[in-house]
Structure 1
Protein backbone atom coordinates (compact mmCIF):
# COMPACT_ATOMS: atom_id res chain seq x y z
CA UNK A 1 0.00 0.00 0.00
CA UNK A 2 2.86 2.41 0.83
CA UNK A 3 4.42 1.76 -2.56
CA UNK A 4 1.11 2.28 -4.33
CA UNK A 5 0.52 5.59 -2.57
CA UNK A 6 4.04 6.69 -3.46
CA UNK A 7 3.62 5.74 -7.14
CA UNK A 8 0.32 7.62 -7.35
CA UNK A 9 1.23 10.72 -5.35
CA UNK A 10 4.92 11.44 -5.93
CA UNK A 11 4.62 12.21 -9.68
CA UNK A 12 2.14 14.97 -8.79
CA UNK A 13 4.46 16.32 -6.09
CA UNK A 14 7.38 16.25 -8.52
CA UNK A 15 5.38 18.07 -11.19
CA UNK A 16 4.35 20.79 -8.76
CA UNK A 17 7.90 21.15 -7.47
CA UNK A 18 9.35 21.95 -10.92
CA UNK A 19 6.93 24.79 -11.54
CA UNK A 20 8.24 28.40 -11.39
CA UNK A 21 7.79 30.25 -8.11
CA UNK A 22 5.21 32.63 -9.61
CA UNK A 23 3.02 29.68 -10.58
CA UNK A 24 3.53 28.01 -7.21
CA UNK A 25 2.38 31.07 -5.31
CA UNK A 26 -0.63 31.40 -7.60
CA UNK A 27 -1.50 27.81 -6.61
CA UNK A 28 -0.89 28.75 -2.98
CA UNK A 29 -3.41 31.60 -3.24
CA UNK A 30 -6.04 29.19 -4.58
CA UNK A 31 -5.40 26.71 -1.77
CA UNK A 32 -5.61 29.55 0.76
CA UNK A 33 -9.21 30.23 -0.28
CA UNK A 34 -10.07 26.53 -0.07
CA UNK A 35 -8.33 25.79 3.23
CA UNK A 36 -9.17 29.03 5.05
CA UNK A 37 -12.58 29.97 3.69
CA UNK A 38 -14.07 26.62 2.67
CA UNK A 39 -12.52 23.88 4.82
CA UNK A 40 -11.52 26.07 7.75
CA UNK A 41 -8.61 23.78 8.63
CA UNK A 42 -7.80 24.16 12.36
CA UNK A 43 -9.01 27.76 12.41
CA UNK A 44 -10.31 27.39 15.95
CA UNK A 45 -6.95 26.03 17.16
CA UNK A 46 -5.08 28.93 15.55
CA UNK A 47 -7.43 31.58 16.95
CA UNK A 48 -7.44 30.00 20.41
CA UNK A 49 -3.62 30.03 20.39
CA UNK A 50 -3.56 33.67 19.37
CA UNK A 51 -6.08 34.64 22.05
CA UNK A 52 -3.96 32.95 24.71
CA UNK A 53 -0.68 34.40 23.43
CA UNK A 54 -1.98 37.95 22.88
CA UNK A 55 -4.86 38.59 25.33
CA UNK A 56 -4.21 42.33 25.03
CA UNK A 57 -4.99 42.43 21.29
CA UNK A 58 -8.53 43.12 20.05
CA UNK A 59 -10.29 40.30 18.18
CA UNK A 60 -10.09 42.26 14.90
CA UNK A 61 -6.29 42.31 15.07
CA UNK A 62 -6.14 38.61 15.97
CA UNK A 63 -8.34 37.72 12.99
CA UNK A 64 -6.03 39.72 10.72
CA UNK A 65 -3.00 37.87 12.10
CA UNK A 66 -4.86 34.62 11.53
CA UNK A 67 -5.49 35.45 7.86
CA UNK A 68 -1.85 36.42 7.32
CA UNK A 69 -0.77 33.22 9.03
CA UNK A 70 -2.81 31.03 6.70
CA UNK A 71 -1.37 32.75 3.63
CA UNK A 72 2.11 32.01 4.98
CA UNK A 73 1.12 28.53 6.17
CA UNK A 74 0.14 27.46 2.64
CA UNK A 75 3.25 29.09 1.19
CA UNK A 76 5.43 27.04 3.52
CA UNK A 77 3.97 23.75 2.32
CA UNK A 78 4.39 24.85 -1.28
CA UNK A 79 8.02 25.71 -0.51
CA UNK A 80 8.49 22.30 1.13
CA UNK A 81 7.28 20.67 -2.07
CA UNK A 82 9.63 22.90 -4.06
CA UNK A 83 12.49 21.54 -1.94
CA UNK A 84 12.31 18.19 -3.76
CA UNK A 85 13.72 19.65 -6.97
CA UNK A 86 15.03 23.09 -6.05
CA UNK A 87 18.57 23.80 -7.24
CA UNK A 88 21.37 25.19 -5.12
CA UNK A 89 21.29 28.40 -7.15
CA UNK A 90 17.59 28.88 -6.43
CA UNK A 91 18.00 28.28 -2.70
CA UNK A 92 20.95 30.68 -2.50
CA UNK A 93 18.81 33.35 -4.17
CA UNK A 94 15.81 32.87 -1.89
CA UNK A 95 17.52 32.05 1.43
CA UNK A 96 20.44 34.20 2.54
CA UNK A 97 22.76 34.37 5.56
CA UNK A 98 23.81 37.99 6.17
CA UNK A 99 26.29 37.16 8.98
CA UNK A 100 27.60 33.80 7.77
CA UNK A 101 31.14 34.85 8.76
CA UNK A 102 29.97 34.26 12.32
CA UNK A 103 30.67 30.55 11.82
CA UNK A 104 34.14 31.14 10.36
CA UNK A 105 35.30 32.53 13.67
CA UNK A 106 33.34 30.08 15.80
CA UNK A 107 34.81 27.09 13.97
CA UNK A 108 38.30 28.02 15.17
CA UNK A 109 37.58 26.96 18.75
CA UNK A 110 37.34 23.30 17.72
CA UNK A 111 33.90 22.67 19.23
CA UNK A 112 30.77 21.33 17.61
CA UNK A 113 27.53 23.33 17.58
CA UNK A 114 23.96 22.86 18.70
CA UNK A 115 21.89 25.06 16.39
CA UNK A 116 18.48 25.87 17.88
CA UNK A 117 15.47 27.70 16.54
CA UNK A 118 11.66 27.65 16.32
CA UNK A 119 9.23 26.62 13.59
CA UNK A 120 9.15 30.16 12.27
CA UNK A 121 9.08 31.65 8.75
CA UNK A 122 10.89 29.04 6.62
CA UNK A 123 12.98 26.54 8.56
CA UNK A 124 13.06 24.03 5.70
CA UNK A 125 15.66 25.78 3.54
CA UNK A 126 18.17 26.02 6.41
CA UNK A 127 19.47 22.81 4.79
CA UNK A 128 21.49 25.05 2.43
CA UNK A 129 23.62 26.24 5.37
CA UNK A 130 25.96 23.27 4.93
CA UNK A 131 27.19 24.78 1.67
CA UNK A 132 28.61 27.77 3.58
CA UNK A 133 30.18 26.29 6.73
CA UNK A 134 32.98 23.86 7.55
CA UNK A 135 30.92 21.87 10.04
CA UNK A 136 29.44 18.53 9.09
CA UNK A 137 25.69 19.17 9.21
CA UNK A 138 23.00 17.09 10.91
CA UNK A 139 19.31 17.75 11.40
CA UNK A 140 17.13 15.83 13.82
CA UNK A 141 13.86 14.71 12.24
CA UNK A 142 10.89 12.42 12.75
CA UNK A 143 10.61 9.62 10.21
CA UNK A 144 7.75 9.69 7.72
CA UNK A 145 5.62 6.56 8.04
CA UNK A 146 5.80 5.81 4.31
CA UNK A 147 9.38 4.51 3.75
CA UNK A 148 9.39 5.50 0.08
CA UNK A 149 8.56 9.11 0.82
CA UNK A 150 10.98 9.03 3.75
CA UNK A 151 13.84 7.93 1.48
CA UNK A 152 12.94 10.59 -1.09
CA UNK A 153 13.00 13.29 1.58
CA UNK A 154 16.38 12.10 2.84
CA UNK A 155 17.80 12.13 -0.66
CA UNK A 156 16.49 15.59 -1.54
CA UNK A 157 17.86 17.14 1.67
CA UNK A 158 21.24 15.41 1.44
CA UNK A 159 22.08 17.09 -1.87
CA UNK A 160 22.97 20.20 0.15
CA UNK A 161 25.16 18.23 2.56
CA UNK A 162 22.72 17.92 5.46
CA UNK A 163 22.41 14.52 7.10
CA UNK A 164 18.91 13.89 8.43
CA UNK A 165 19.07 11.75 11.56
CA UNK A 166 16.14 10.36 13.56
CA UNK A 167 15.94 12.22 16.86
CA UNK A 168 16.51 8.97 18.75
CA UNK A 169 19.90 8.50 17.05
CA UNK A 170 21.32 12.01 17.41
CA UNK A 171 23.34 11.08 20.50
CA UNK A 172 24.89 8.14 18.64
CA UNK A 173 26.06 10.51 15.91
CA UNK A 174 27.46 12.98 18.45
CA UNK A 175 29.48 10.28 20.20
CA UNK A 176 30.79 8.93 16.88
CA UNK A 177 31.86 12.38 15.69
CA UNK A 178 33.54 13.30 18.95
CA UNK A 179 35.54 10.06 18.97
CA UNK A 180 36.70 10.83 15.42
CA UNK A 181 37.39 14.55 16.04
CA UNK A 182 34.72 15.66 13.58
CA UNK A 183 33.34 19.13 14.18
CA UNK A 184 29.64 18.98 13.49
CA UNK A 185 26.54 21.15 13.65
CA UNK A 186 23.31 19.61 14.95
CA UNK A 187 20.08 21.41 14.08
CA UNK A 188 17.25 21.16 16.61
CA UNK A 189 13.84 22.83 16.33
CA UNK A 190 12.98 22.87 20.00
CA UNK A 191 9.79 24.89 20.31
CA UNK A 192 7.24 22.06 20.22
CA UNK A 193 5.42 20.94 23.34
CA UNK A 194 6.97 17.73 24.71
CA UNK A 195 4.97 14.76 25.90
CA UNK A 196 4.05 15.11 29.56
CA UNK A 197 5.89 11.92 30.54
CA UNK A 198 9.06 13.42 29.03
CA UNK A 199 8.62 16.85 30.59
CA UNK A 200 11.33 17.86 33.03
CA UNK A 201 10.97 21.62 33.04
CA UNK A 202 8.03 24.03 32.97
CA UNK A 203 8.25 27.77 32.37
CA UNK A 204 6.19 30.62 30.97
CA UNK A 205 5.74 31.06 27.24
CA UNK A 206 3.62 34.12 26.43
CA UNK A 207 2.84 34.32 30.17
CA UNK A 208 1.44 30.77 30.21
CA UNK A 209 3.23 27.99 32.07
CA UNK A 210 4.02 25.12 29.69
CA UNK A 211 6.49 22.21 29.49
CA UNK A 212 9.47 22.89 27.24
CA UNK A 213 12.16 20.78 25.60
CA UNK A 214 15.55 20.79 27.33
CA UNK A 215 17.41 18.40 25.01
CA UNK A 216 19.51 21.07 23.32
CA UNK A 217 20.82 22.33 26.66
CA UNK A 218 21.47 18.79 27.90
CA UNK A 219 23.47 17.84 24.81
CA UNK A 220 25.49 21.06 24.82
CA UNK A 221 26.49 20.58 28.47
CA UNK A 222 27.24 16.87 28.24
CA UNK A 223 29.31 17.07 25.06
CA UNK A 224 30.81 20.56 25.49
CA UNK A 225 29.24 22.21 22.45
CA UNK A 226 28.52 25.80 21.52
CA UNK A 227 24.86 26.80 21.39
CA UNK A 228 23.78 29.06 18.52
CA UNK A 229 20.37 30.60 17.84
CA UNK A 230 19.05 30.98 14.29
CA UNK A 231 16.71 33.88 13.64
CA UNK A 232 14.79 33.53 10.37
CA UNK A 233 13.27 36.69 8.90
CA UNK A 234 10.80 36.72 6.02
CA UNK A 235 11.93 39.57 3.77
CA UNK A 236 9.11 39.16 1.27
CA UNK A 237 7.16 36.28 -0.24
CA UNK A 238 9.57 33.45 -0.98
CA UNK A 239 12.64 35.29 0.32
CA UNK A 240 14.24 34.83 3.73
CA UNK A 241 17.28 35.91 5.72
CA UNK A 242 18.69 33.91 8.60
CA UNK A 243 21.11 35.44 11.09
CA UNK A 244 22.94 33.70 13.89
CA UNK A 245 23.84 34.64 17.46
CA UNK A 246 25.82 32.84 20.13
CA UNK A 247 23.86 31.78 23.19
CA UNK A 248 26.93 30.35 24.89
CA UNK A 249 30.35 28.84 24.26
CA UNK A 250 30.59 27.61 27.84
CA UNK A 251 27.43 25.58 28.31
CA UNK A 252 28.63 23.70 31.40
CA UNK A 253 28.99 26.96 33.36
CA UNK A 254 25.30 27.80 33.13
CA UNK A 255 22.84 26.73 35.85
CA UNK A 256 20.31 24.09 34.87
CA UNK A 257 17.65 25.37 32.46
CA UNK A 258 19.23 28.80 32.03
CA UNK A 259 20.12 28.06 28.39
CA UNK A 260 16.59 26.81 27.79
CA UNK A 261 15.23 30.03 29.29
CA UNK A 262 17.44 32.13 27.02
CA UNK A 263 16.25 30.15 24.00
CA UNK A 264 12.53 30.44 24.85
CA UNK A 265 12.91 34.17 25.51
CA UNK A 266 14.47 34.62 22.08
CA UNK A 267 11.69 32.61 20.45
CA UNK A 268 8.98 34.69 22.10
CA UNK A 269 10.68 37.95 21.19
CA UNK A 270 10.97 36.83 17.57
CA UNK A 271 7.31 35.79 17.37
CA UNK A 272 6.02 39.02 18.92
CA UNK A 273 7.58 41.05 16.09
CA UNK A 274 5.63 39.21 13.36
CA UNK A 275 3.34 36.56 14.87
CA UNK A 276 1.85 35.58 11.50
CA UNK A 277 5.00 33.62 10.61
CA UNK A 278 4.88 31.22 13.57
CA UNK A 279 3.42 27.72 13.24
CA UNK A 280 0.14 28.21 15.14
CA UNK A 281 -1.76 25.10 13.96
CA UNK A 282 -0.35 23.05 16.84
CA UNK A 283 -1.98 23.33 20.26
CA UNK A 284 0.84 25.32 21.78
CA UNK A 285 -0.67 25.57 25.25
CA UNK A 286 -2.49 22.24 25.51
CA UNK A 287 -0.82 21.27 28.82
CA UNK A 288 -1.34 24.60 30.59
CA UNK A 289 -3.95 23.15 32.98
CA UNK A 290 -1.52 20.44 34.06
CA UNK A 291 1.27 22.77 35.14
CA UNK A 292 2.88 22.01 38.54
CA UNK A 293 1.58 24.26 41.30
CA UNK A 294 5.00 25.02 42.82
Structure 2
Protein backbone atom coordinates (compact mmCIF):
# COMPACT_ATOMS: atom_id res chain seq x y z
CA UNK A 1 0.00 0.00 0.00
CA UNK A 2 2.84 2.40 0.81
CA UNK A 3 4.34 1.87 -2.64
CA UNK A 4 0.99 2.37 -4.36
CA UNK A 5 0.49 5.67 -2.54
CA UNK A 6 4.02 6.69 -3.49
CA UNK A 7 3.67 5.97 -7.21
CA UNK A 8 0.31 7.78 -7.28
CA UNK A 9 1.47 10.88 -5.41
CA UNK A 10 5.05 11.27 -6.61
CA UNK A 11 4.23 12.26 -10.24
CA UNK A 12 1.93 15.00 -8.92
CA UNK A 13 4.66 16.32 -6.63
CA UNK A 14 7.20 16.22 -9.45
CA UNK A 15 4.90 18.20 -11.75
CA UNK A 16 4.47 20.85 -9.07
CA UNK A 17 8.23 20.98 -8.51
CA UNK A 18 8.98 21.88 -12.14
CA UNK A 19 6.57 24.81 -12.17
CA UNK A 20 8.23 28.21 -12.58
CA UNK A 21 8.21 30.14 -9.32
CA UNK A 22 5.43 32.48 -10.48
CA UNK A 23 3.08 29.53 -10.98
CA UNK A 24 4.43 27.73 -7.92
CA UNK A 25 3.36 30.60 -5.67
CA UNK A 26 0.03 30.86 -7.47
CA UNK A 27 -0.48 27.24 -6.43
CA UNK A 28 0.54 28.23 -2.89
CA UNK A 29 -2.20 30.88 -2.91
CA UNK A 30 -4.69 28.18 -3.90
CA UNK A 31 -3.46 25.96 -1.05
CA UNK A 32 -3.92 28.89 1.33
CA UNK A 33 -7.59 29.12 0.38
CA UNK A 34 -8.08 25.39 0.96
CA UNK A 35 -6.00 24.97 4.11
CA UNK A 36 -6.99 28.15 5.93
CA UNK A 37 -10.26 29.40 4.48
CA UNK A 38 -11.98 26.10 3.64
CA UNK A 39 -10.63 23.46 6.03
CA UNK A 40 -9.21 25.71 8.75
CA UNK A 41 -6.27 23.37 9.38
CA UNK A 42 -5.32 23.70 13.07
CA UNK A 43 -6.81 27.18 13.08
CA UNK A 44 -7.94 26.85 16.70
CA UNK A 45 -4.42 25.86 17.77
CA UNK A 46 -2.84 28.77 15.88
CA UNK A 47 -5.19 31.36 17.35
CA UNK A 48 -4.90 29.88 20.86
CA UNK A 49 -1.10 29.98 20.64
CA UNK A 50 -1.05 33.56 19.40
CA UNK A 51 -3.46 34.80 22.06
CA UNK A 52 -1.47 32.97 24.73
CA UNK A 53 1.90 34.52 23.90
CA UNK A 54 0.61 37.92 22.72
CA UNK A 55 -2.05 38.82 25.31
CA UNK A 56 -1.51 42.50 24.53
CA UNK A 57 -2.68 42.13 20.91
CA UNK A 58 -6.32 42.61 19.95
CA UNK A 59 -8.40 40.30 17.75
CA UNK A 60 -7.63 42.28 14.61
CA UNK A 61 -3.88 42.02 15.18
CA UNK A 62 -4.15 38.28 15.89
CA UNK A 63 -6.14 37.80 12.69
CA UNK A 64 -3.52 39.69 10.66
CA UNK A 65 -0.70 37.50 12.00
CA UNK A 66 -2.80 34.38 11.40
CA UNK A 67 -3.45 35.31 7.76
CA UNK A 68 0.23 36.02 7.12
CA UNK A 69 1.25 32.82 8.87
CA UNK A 70 -0.95 30.59 6.70
CA UNK A 71 0.36 32.26 3.55
CA UNK A 72 3.90 31.53 4.72
CA UNK A 73 3.03 27.96 5.73
CA UNK A 74 1.74 27.23 2.22
CA UNK A 75 4.83 28.84 0.69
CA UNK A 76 7.02 26.52 2.76
CA UNK A 77 5.02 23.52 1.59
CA UNK A 78 5.51 24.30 -2.09
CA UNK A 79 9.17 25.22 -1.49
CA UNK A 80 9.68 21.79 0.06
CA UNK A 81 8.20 20.21 -3.07
CA UNK A 82 10.39 22.45 -5.23
CA UNK A 83 13.40 20.83 -3.56
CA UNK A 84 12.80 17.80 -5.77
CA UNK A 85 14.08 19.56 -8.88
CA UNK A 86 15.51 22.97 -7.92
CA UNK A 87 19.10 23.50 -9.04
CA UNK A 88 21.89 24.27 -6.61
CA UNK A 89 22.48 27.62 -8.33
CA UNK A 90 18.82 28.62 -7.93
CA UNK A 91 18.78 27.55 -4.30
CA UNK A 92 21.92 29.58 -3.57
CA UNK A 93 20.30 32.62 -5.15
CA UNK A 94 17.24 32.27 -2.95
CA UNK A 95 18.80 31.10 0.34
CA UNK A 96 21.80 33.27 1.14
CA UNK A 97 24.23 33.28 4.07
CA UNK A 98 25.58 36.60 5.35
CA UNK A 99 28.55 35.22 7.28
CA UNK A 100 29.27 31.61 6.33
CA UNK A 101 32.93 32.34 7.09
CA UNK A 102 32.02 32.01 10.78
CA UNK A 103 31.38 28.29 10.25
CA UNK A 104 34.40 27.96 7.97
CA UNK A 105 36.68 29.38 10.67
CA UNK A 106 35.33 26.92 13.24
CA UNK A 107 35.79 23.91 11.00
CA UNK A 108 39.27 25.10 9.94
CA UNK A 109 40.15 24.86 13.64
CA UNK A 110 39.20 21.19 13.54
CA UNK A 111 35.93 21.58 15.44
CA UNK A 112 32.53 20.02 14.92
CA UNK A 113 29.44 22.22 15.11
CA UNK A 114 26.02 21.87 16.73
CA UNK A 115 23.78 24.11 14.61
CA UNK A 116 20.68 25.05 16.61
CA UNK A 117 17.57 26.40 14.92
CA UNK A 118 13.83 26.75 15.45
CA UNK A 119 10.71 26.19 13.39
CA UNK A 120 11.03 29.71 12.07
CA UNK A 121 11.36 31.26 8.64
CA UNK A 122 12.42 28.41 6.39
CA UNK A 123 14.55 25.36 7.03
CA UNK A 124 13.81 23.53 3.76
CA UNK A 125 16.74 24.96 1.82
CA UNK A 126 19.31 25.19 4.62
CA UNK A 127 20.98 22.05 3.22
CA UNK A 128 22.63 24.10 0.48
CA UNK A 129 24.94 25.25 3.28
CA UNK A 130 26.93 22.07 2.68
CA UNK A 131 28.21 23.49 -0.61
CA UNK A 132 30.04 26.21 1.35
CA UNK A 133 31.69 24.07 4.04
CA UNK A 134 33.77 20.90 4.22
CA UNK A 135 32.30 19.16 7.27
CA UNK A 136 29.97 16.22 6.82
CA UNK A 137 26.39 17.30 7.55
CA UNK A 138 23.85 15.55 9.76
CA UNK A 139 20.30 16.66 10.55
CA UNK A 140 18.10 15.13 13.21
CA UNK A 141 14.60 14.43 11.87
CA UNK A 142 11.48 12.39 12.49
CA UNK A 143 11.25 9.40 10.15
CA UNK A 144 8.40 9.52 7.60
CA UNK A 145 6.03 6.59 8.01
CA UNK A 146 5.97 5.84 4.28
CA UNK A 147 9.40 4.32 3.67
CA UNK A 148 9.42 5.35 -0.01
CA UNK A 149 8.86 9.03 0.74
CA UNK A 150 11.36 8.74 3.59
CA UNK A 151 13.94 7.43 1.12
CA UNK A 152 13.07 10.23 -1.30
CA UNK A 153 13.64 12.95 1.31
CA UNK A 154 16.93 11.37 2.36
CA UNK A 155 18.03 11.30 -1.28
CA UNK A 156 17.29 15.00 -1.75
CA UNK A 157 19.35 15.92 1.31
CA UNK A 158 22.18 13.59 0.28
CA UNK A 159 22.76 15.70 -2.85
CA UNK A 160 24.31 18.31 -0.55
CA UNK A 161 26.42 15.89 1.53
CA UNK A 162 23.83 15.83 4.32
CA UNK A 163 22.49 12.77 6.08
CA UNK A 164 19.18 12.69 7.91
CA UNK A 165 19.34 10.76 11.17
CA UNK A 166 16.63 9.89 13.69
CA UNK A 167 16.87 10.74 17.37
CA UNK A 168 17.87 7.15 18.18
CA UNK A 169 20.63 7.23 15.55
CA UNK A 170 22.07 10.57 16.65
CA UNK A 171 24.34 9.52 19.54
CA UNK A 172 25.86 6.42 17.85
CA UNK A 173 26.39 8.25 14.53
CA UNK A 174 28.06 11.28 16.09
CA UNK A 175 30.07 9.20 18.55
CA UNK A 176 31.38 7.07 15.69
CA UNK A 177 32.43 10.19 13.78
CA UNK A 178 34.14 11.51 16.91
CA UNK A 179 36.04 8.24 17.45
CA UNK A 180 37.11 8.30 13.79
CA UNK A 181 38.35 11.88 14.34
CA UNK A 182 35.93 13.21 11.74
CA UNK A 183 34.54 16.72 12.06
CA UNK A 184 30.90 17.34 11.23
CA UNK A 185 28.03 19.79 11.51
CA UNK A 186 24.75 18.58 12.97
CA UNK A 187 21.50 20.52 12.74
CA UNK A 188 19.03 20.44 15.62
CA UNK A 189 15.53 21.93 15.41
CA UNK A 190 15.43 22.39 19.16
CA UNK A 191 12.16 24.17 19.91
CA UNK A 192 9.86 21.14 19.81
CA UNK A 193 7.60 20.47 22.75
CA UNK A 194 9.30 17.99 25.05
CA UNK A 195 7.16 15.48 26.91
CA UNK A 196 6.42 16.92 30.32
CA UNK A 197 7.03 13.67 32.20
CA UNK A 198 10.45 13.20 30.57
CA UNK A 199 11.75 16.79 30.61
CA UNK A 200 14.81 17.51 32.72
CA UNK A 201 14.57 21.27 32.26
CA UNK A 202 11.69 23.74 32.37
CA UNK A 203 12.02 27.42 31.48
CA UNK A 204 9.99 30.32 30.16
CA UNK A 205 9.42 30.62 26.44
CA UNK A 206 7.34 33.54 25.18
CA UNK A 207 6.18 34.23 28.72
CA UNK A 208 5.19 30.70 29.75
CA UNK A 209 7.08 27.96 31.55
CA UNK A 210 7.39 24.88 29.31
CA UNK A 211 9.47 21.68 29.12
CA UNK A 212 12.61 22.02 27.00
CA UNK A 213 14.51 19.65 24.74
CA UNK A 214 18.14 19.77 25.88
CA UNK A 215 19.66 17.12 23.62
CA UNK A 216 21.62 19.56 21.44
CA UNK A 217 23.28 21.13 24.47
CA UNK A 218 24.07 17.78 26.13
CA UNK A 219 25.59 16.38 22.93
CA UNK A 220 27.61 19.54 22.34
CA UNK A 221 29.13 19.18 25.81
CA UNK A 222 29.70 15.44 25.46
CA UNK A 223 31.41 15.77 22.06
CA UNK A 224 32.94 19.23 22.65
CA UNK A 225 31.13 20.82 19.70
CA UNK A 226 30.94 24.54 19.02
CA UNK A 227 27.33 25.71 19.34
CA UNK A 228 25.98 28.06 16.67
CA UNK A 229 22.51 29.54 16.21
CA UNK A 230 21.22 30.28 12.74
CA UNK A 231 18.84 33.17 12.38
CA UNK A 232 16.64 33.16 9.28
CA UNK A 233 15.09 36.30 7.83
CA UNK A 234 12.58 36.28 4.98
CA UNK A 235 13.55 39.04 2.55
CA UNK A 236 10.61 38.60 0.21
CA UNK A 237 8.57 35.73 -1.15
CA UNK A 238 10.91 32.86 -1.96
CA UNK A 239 14.05 34.61 -0.73
CA UNK A 240 15.73 34.09 2.64
CA UNK A 241 18.84 35.31 4.42
CA UNK A 242 20.60 33.45 7.21
CA UNK A 243 23.01 34.87 9.75
CA UNK A 244 25.04 32.64 12.06
CA UNK A 245 25.58 33.59 15.69
CA UNK A 246 28.09 31.76 17.88
CA UNK A 247 26.60 30.81 21.22
CA UNK A 248 29.86 29.27 22.41
CA UNK A 249 32.91 27.38 21.21
CA UNK A 250 33.46 26.01 24.72
CA UNK A 251 30.17 24.39 25.82
CA UNK A 252 31.69 22.62 28.82
CA UNK A 253 32.28 25.99 30.46
CA UNK A 254 28.51 26.58 30.73
CA UNK A 255 26.22 25.37 33.48
CA UNK A 256 23.68 22.75 32.49
CA UNK A 257 20.76 24.19 30.48
CA UNK A 258 22.36 27.63 30.17
CA UNK A 259 23.03 27.11 26.45
CA UNK A 260 19.43 25.94 25.94
CA UNK A 261 18.15 29.08 27.66
CA UNK A 262 20.34 31.32 25.47
CA UNK A 263 19.00 29.55 22.38
CA UNK A 264 15.39 30.18 23.38
CA UNK A 265 16.04 33.87 24.05
CA UNK A 266 17.32 34.15 20.48
CA UNK A 267 14.23 32.36 19.14
CA UNK A 268 12.01 34.74 21.10
CA UNK A 269 13.77 37.71 19.52
CA UNK A 270 13.04 36.33 16.05
CA UNK A 271 9.39 35.76 16.87
CA UNK A 272 8.90 39.27 18.23
CA UNK A 273 10.50 40.75 15.10
CA UNK A 274 8.12 38.93 12.71
CA UNK A 275 5.73 36.50 14.43
CA UNK A 276 4.06 35.34 11.21
CA UNK A 277 7.09 33.22 10.31
CA UNK A 278 6.98 30.93 13.36
CA UNK A 279 5.28 27.52 13.12
CA UNK A 280 2.14 28.28 15.15
CA UNK A 281 0.40 25.00 14.21
CA UNK A 282 2.84 23.25 16.53
CA UNK A 283 1.44 22.69 20.05
CA UNK A 284 4.53 24.18 21.66
CA UNK A 285 2.72 25.23 24.84
CA UNK A 286 0.81 21.98 25.25
CA UNK A 287 2.33 21.37 28.69
CA UNK A 288 2.74 24.93 29.87
CA UNK A 289 3.10 25.08 33.63
CA UNK A 290 2.73 28.63 34.92
CA UNK A 291 1.76 27.39 38.36
CA UNK A 292 4.09 25.26 40.53
CA UNK A 293 2.23 22.01 39.91
CA UNK A 294 -0.37 22.12 37.16
CA UNK A 295 -0.15 21.53 33.41
CA UNK A 296 -2.58 23.29 31.10
CA UNK A 297 -3.16 21.74 27.70
CA UNK A 298 -4.08 23.71 24.57
CA UNK A 299 -6.66 21.63 22.77
CA UNK A 300 -7.26 21.84 19.05
Give the TM interval when normalised to the shorter protein: over 0.9
Kindly provide the CA deviation profile for residues 189-248 of structure 1, in whole angstroms up to 9, marking residues without a partner as x: 000101223211111111101001100110011111100000011000000011101000
State the match for 1:113 in structure 2: 113
Superposition pairs for residues 121-136 of structure 1, below 5 Å?
Answer: 121-136=121-136
Superposition pairs for residues 269-288 of structure 1, below 5 Å?
Answer: 269-288=269-288
Kindly state the Cα deviation for residue 31 of structure 1 after the two structures are TM-superposed. Answer: 1.4
State the match for 1:53 in structure 2: 53
Kindly provide the CA deviation profile for residues 64-106 of structure 1, in whole angstroms up to 9, marking residues without a partner as x: 0000000001000010111111110111111000111112211
Residue 261 of structure 2 corresponds to residue 233 of structure 1 = no
Gaps spanning 5+ residues in structure 2: where?
A: 295-300
State the match for 1:5 in structure 2: 5
State the match for 1:177 in structure 2: 177
Residue 103 of structure 2 corresponds to residue 103 of structure 1 = yes
In the aligned structure 1, how far is the partner of 2:291 from the partner of 2:157?
38
Counterpart of 1:198 in 2: which secondary structure?
A: coil
Which is helix-richer, 1 or 2?
Answer: 1
Kindly state the Cα deviation for residue 168 of structure 1 after the two structures are TM-superposed. Answer: 1.1
In the aligned structure 2, how far is the partner of 1:284 from the partner of 1:161?
31
Between 1:249-258 and 1:195-204, the stretch displaced more is 195-204
On the 8 A contact 2:45/2:283 being kept in 1, the answer is yes
Between 1:32-41 and 1:219-228, the stretch displaced more is 32-41
In the aligned structure 1, how far is the partner of 2:239 from the partner of 2:124?
12
Kindly state the Cα deviation for residue 290 of structure 1 after the two structures are TM-superposed. Answer: 8.1
Counterpart of 1:186 in 2: which secondary structure?
A: strand
State the match for 1:242 in structure 2: 242
State the match for 1:266 in structure 2: 266
TM-score scaled by length of structure 1: 0.97
Superposition pairs for residues 84-103 of structure 1, below 5 Å?
Answer: 84-103=84-103
State the match for 1:252 in structure 2: 252
In the aligned structure 2, how far is the partner of 1:108 from the partner of 1:84?
32
Counterpart of 2:232 in 1: which secondary structure?
A: strand
Counterpart of 1:197 in 2: which secondary structure?
A: coil
State the match for 2:161 in structure 1: 161
Counterpart of 1:115 in 2: which secondary structure?
A: strand
On the 8 A contact 1:137/1:161 being kept in 2, the answer is yes
Aligned length: 294
On the 8 A contact 1:202/1:291 being kept in 2, the answer is no
Kindly provide the CA deviation profile for residues 98-132 of structure 1, in whole angstroms up to 9, marking residues without a partner as x: 11111221123222110001011111111111100
Gaps spanning 5+ residues in structure 1: where?
A: none
TM-score scaled by length of structure 2: 0.95
In the aligned structure 2, how far is the partner of 1:293 from the partner of 1:266?
27
Counterpart of 1:134 in 2: which secondary structure?
A: coil
